[in-house]
Amino acid sequence: EDKVVQSPLSLVVHEGDTVTLNCSYEVTNFRSLLWYKQEKKAPTFLFMLTSSGIEKKSGRLSSILDKKELSSILNITATQTGDSAIYLCAVEPGNQFYFGTGTSLTVIP
Amino acid sequence: DSGVTQTPKHLITATGQRVTLRCSPRSGDLSVYWYQQSLDQGLQFLIQYYNGEERAKGNILERFSAQQFPDLHSELNLSSLELGDSALYFCASSAQSGGPQHFGDGTRLSIL
């Protein structure tokens, strides 16, 4: 059965800390892995990783895909209170879209 | 603002009823996706349309149906509603089939 598992379920850190969020997956015909940030309402797109693009970076956020371990990490450095959100990992095996249940990140001032 | 518009924002109805949720995709996007988000199950993919045709199907109940119209807006129809159908329903769109999706703010459906 295809599935996406994220860890930890929740995380509380202080401003300035660095955090690492994990996503592991078991799907057939892997096509891409995507990271989203969900604050109060709609998830917003962060990164897409594929077999041909296994590392992405934007400002303080970066993500790596480990095709061998079937996993991905999302790193956030120098965290700010505005980073508080639920971070969702999604995997696209071609004709389905599987989301993990997310990691809830709280950044304390 | 993602550019994806969902209406209504909130919907309260009773068991056994039927409702229609509406989605207008971002300008230029051909794909529309529907998701159900509940507290205990996270974001569940329901169905995808691409340029009017059904492209992919997830765990969508037989009581639910969807379509995408020639102007690319989409509707999700939920019938014979049950208490367990209470959830946040998201619509998302993308330029092509698959890849990064832009989500609307969702329709919160409450079944009483």
A→B interface, C-beta within 8 Å: 31-32, 34, 36, 41-45, 48, 88, 90, 92, 94-102
pLDDT given for residue A96 in this prediction: 81
How far apart (Å, rounded) are the C-alpha atoms in residues B67 and B70? 10
Q: What is the DSSP letter of A53?
A: B
pLDDT given for residue A54 in this prediction: 86
B45–A97 C-beta distance less than 8 A = yes
How far apart (Å, rounded) are the C-alpha atoms in residues A96 and B41? 16
Q: What is the DSSP letter of B85?
A: G
Question: Which parts of chain A are beta strand (E)?
Answer: 3-7, 10-14, 19-26, 32-38, 43-49, 55-58, 61-66, 71-76, 85-92, 98-99, 103-108
Digit-by-digit pLDDT tens for chain B (112 residues) are: 889 999 999 999 999 999 999 999 999 999 999 999 987 778 999 999 999 999 999 989 999 999 999 999 999 999 999 999 999 999 999 998 888 999 999 999 999 9
Q: Residue A8 contacts by C-beta under 8 Å, 6 or more apart in sequence?
A: A21, A22, A103
B55–A45 C-beta distance less than 8 A = no
B42 vs A31, A45, A100: nearest CB: A100
Chain A partners within 8 Å of B98 (Cβ):
31-32, 92, 94
Q: What is the DSSP letter of A39?
A: S
Chain A partners within 8 Å of B44 (Cβ):
99
Most B CBs within 10 Å: which of A5, A35, A45, as the mutation test of the B interface? A45
CB-CB neighbours of B45 under 10 Å: 21
Residue of B nearest to A37 (CA): B103
Kindly indicate the confidence band of residue A91, based on its pLDDT and cuts at 50, 70 and 90: very high
Chain B partners within 8 Å of A42 (Cβ):
2, 4, 90, 103-106
- Say which residue, B101 or A51, is predicted with more confidence: B101
B56 vs A44, A90, A95: nearest CB: A95
Q: Length of chain A in residues, anyone?
A: 109
pLDDT given for residue B2 in this prediction: 85
